[in-house]
Amino acid sequence: MMPSAWAPGRVNLIGEHTDYSGGLVLPAAIQLGISVEVESVADEISLTSTRDGRAEPFAADGTGAAATGWARYGQAVAAELAALGRPPVGLVAAVDSDLPTGAGLSSSAALEVGIALALCAVADFELPQLELALACQRAELRAVGVPCGILDQAACLLGRAGAAILLDCATLDYRLVPVPGRAALVIVDSGVERSHESSGYAQRRAELERGLALVGAERSTQVTPPDLEGLDPVSLRRVRHVMTENERVGRFAAAFEAGDLETAGRLLGASHASLRDDYEVSIAELDLLVELADAAGGFGARLLGGGFGGAVLVLADVDEADRLGGEIVEEYRSRTGREGRALTVFASSGAVLR
């Protein structure tokens, strides 16, 4: 019987743009994801997506002419696994997804992890979870030039039902944080698609790294308020965001552990303000959705993912989630003419091989 891999998307509760500076994040895997059904073993890797069609086959070790479109991720994963010693065994596989793309739920990481698990299975090759996550992180950079952190791939692999993952992105130490039973995680998509390839993501990372170098910090958790004195305005804003965001991650985890959704919601609002003003990755549509979420009675909201489009995360009471999501979408449509959509997600188990 041929193997089948499933890899979830993720929602990052708080800790945005902190992962690539060795900071703290609090993601959770979600119930939506990508499946990779292996149909046969082959000399090459041949992938067909129900959403995007058939990709041009490529070598089992990821070598050869660069793939195009979504196949770039698969080829990059194959190359990274080959560098770690995976035998060059190919496959024919069908890829299916119920995970929205471009909404900040990390569809690319889910695709990378799903393909990686399938490739490891057919080659009888195993890697520890975090080593596999790091390989998939490198694959993202190789595929599309996005210098992402480890957050997405780690959440995809480490997810547990009913829990978020408090992860130190420098040491890769982590612990589980239970999601309170009355908490609902509502994703509201702005309808504004974004791509890290064409957004200011890489520029923001470069600006942050410059600021950290100016204060002599190797990772963002080493920064203290006195370090901000004397920085140029751009470096000040970028470094201040990650410094305060790391602090918010710890406080949010403590609030969840105490079942204090009011405090957790206020921290989401503060995170969004920092992402908007200090990191400058928000847009008018995301700001409006946060405003509408507050008006509809949510505990708090913030932009989700790298910014420049996509969705917001709204923390709500589980009994109010459907009403709240509907109200936000209706008012957003009336103000912008855009077809927003709301989706309630919950903390799910991580990637599995069947």
Q: Which residues are catalytic?
A: 152
Spatial neighbors of 159 by CB under 8 A, at least 6 apart, are: 8, 10, 28, 29, 30, 165, 347, 348, 349, 350, 351
Q: 105: left (phi > 0), else alpha (psi -120 to 50), else beta?
A: alpha
Q: Which residues pair with 314 in a beta bridge?
A: 186, 301
H/E stretch holding 286 reads helix 284-295
φ and ψ at 283, to 5 degrees? -135, 170
**Distance of alpha carbon 98 from its chain centroid, rounded?**
16
Q: Is 35 helix (H, G, I), strand (E, B) or coil?
A: strand
Residue 65's CB is within 10 A of a number of other CB atoms, namely 9
Residue 152: exposure state from Cβ atoms within 10 A (0-12, 13-18, ≥19):
buried
d(CA 292, CA 271): 16
Instruction: Please answer whether residues 47 and 153 qualify as being in contact, where contact means their C-beta atoms are separated by less than 8 angstroms.
Output: no
Measured CA angle at 185 (ends 179, 186), to 5 deg: 175
Instruction: Please answer whether residues 160 and 349 qualify as being in contact, where contact means their C-beta atoms are separated by less than 8 angstroms.
Output: yes
Q: Which residues pair with 31 in a beta bridge?
A: none
Measure the CA dihedral 317/257/281/99, to 10°: -60
H/E stretch holding 152 reads helix 151-158
Q: Which residues pair with 8 in a beta bridge?
A: 33
Nearest Cα residue to 312 out of 334, 297, 328, 323:
328
**Distance of alpha carbon 195 from its chain centroid, rounded?**
13
